[in-house]
Structure 1
Amino acid sequence: MHNPRSIILLIILGICIEFTIATALDPFMQQIFPRKATSVDLIHVLLGNARELLANHLIKKADVYFHAGYYPSIFHEAAQARSRDHLHSEEYDEHAHEKEMSFLSKPKDIIDRFGRYFYPTEHRHLHGHETAEILPWLKFAASVDPQNVESYVITAFWLRRELHKPDQAEAFLREGLKANPNNLTLLYELARLRWEEYADPLKATNLLHFVLNSLRPKIQQEPNPEQIEIFHRAAILLAHIYEQQRDFKSAVSILQQTLELNTAPKPEVIQQKIEELNQHEVEPPTNQTCK
């Protein structure tokens, strides 16, 4: 196993070499391709390819908590919610929980210790001022690697769920869309934000229909796990919105589309939901939505 300190030193050495080469070549490149310097250019010169390593490190540290809390399986969300209630009850054995987490052993260094704060342990989470402190680093990760879509998703989550600033979360997602035009993951997140934070079914359904219509032919041609996941998340959310609007016919239609692709992770659960919706009397939706 490689010594972590040696790896860090090699990374630092690589950054120094890239910086030296970049500063030596920059005057010649300016003469050939004159351009106005920006802060982003400076970051790219200073860090070079190491910016992706840095961005990925920050995102991975946040990813553990993010996916364990913000993105449970759509089919086990209720069960996990009940589990969290149990963990916060008086009967919960804190010693048992510590034993469950003992496989991590002691932190190896300050980076590892900081990273533990992101694990979904009920006794240590980022809240309040701590969340505000980590946000600049997540934004920095997005600035050094704008094509890392997950950095926008995670930062928007912290902004709207922990700091209760949905307007800033939406602005950050739109910033991500400028760097990644028509990215379906970001469009899904934007639709979810418009529905959950603003109860805006019109914009949410329009965005979700765009996501589904864009992904359907791709999945039919060559299924991709990431695309399938986004498709089913978007379909479930869209069906939920239609159900809340009492447009049961549209909700059933969306769920049936997920079964037709033969990629649903739990087709029996979706079929059960379809049967449940069919029992309702078909009524006109309370709000008009565009398909």
Structure 2
Amino acid sequence: MSSERHLAIKISYTAVDRQWAEWVAWKLEDAGYRVLIQAWDFVAGSNWRFKMQEGVTQATRTIAVLSDAYLASVYGKEEWQAAHAADPKGLARKLLPVRIEDCDRPGLLGAAVSIDLFDLFDLSADTARSYLLVQVRGALDGRVKPDIEPAFPVRPRQTSPDQPPSFPYHQGSPQPRSAKPPLIGEPFTSHTGAVESVAIGPDGKILATSSSEGVVWLWDVTDPSRPRAIGKFLTGHTTGLWSVVFGPEGKTLATSIDNGTVRLRDISDPSRPHIIGEFLTGDDDPVWSVAFRPDGRILATGSEDGTLRL
């Protein structure tokens, strides 16, 4: 347990987000942290202005519960700016933005890495709690190392080093052009871990990418020279997400996780994907690959133990 857990964490929020703020505060105190929150600590007879100043000056961390309403709040702005001023480079991670809406982070807030809870709405409350506590612990410790050892990164088998001899062109004969295809635009990413799988939808307009930190990003590649991020969602796991594949109609996305789970999501609206099904393949080994039959009625999976399942 981090040595900083006995120090207070201030929850900065606006009145319309009180339910979210109290949920965050409860989960943190339940995990052993000290929390300062207006709903619980500004009791009758206390000076609310003094209590706010006390929270800003004495709390070791400030969690700003970000929403459009919070960003319009004068008092909320004062609190997060005070936390930022105390740690402008973010080296001590005194300001922890927790987004409960997919809202913009204007100005100085845009440079602070946020904890995004709105991505977890289609998962369970326990998953959201676990993710919140892992990220807060990471802010205190300065890193987020998984509790489970990553799987060994198996590589495809190498081809034989013995290659057939090239065609002996005569001196002065025209040489074939390079078979290396040109890049379209600049490389891009929003992942923080290794990209494990990519897939393009049947219409060629949507790209899905998955990574080792358990995140799937969806991209609009209608203009492949200018890919645009549509959004991301979390699988609820902090380790490998090995395969992502579109259904033949382009409205279903299947993902496989390192604990043998395969999830199906409806991406008819790519900006709001939601789970429509989940199943276990039967063991705890990672599922390296998934594929749909052309009619979309059967899904095939391949696991690390050499097992194929339909």
Larger proportion of strand: 2
More helix by share: 1
Q: Which has the larger radius of gyration?
A: 2
Identify the structure with bigger relative contact order (alpha carbons < 8 Å, sequence gap 6+): 1
TM over 0.5: no
TM-score relative to the length of structure 2: 0.27
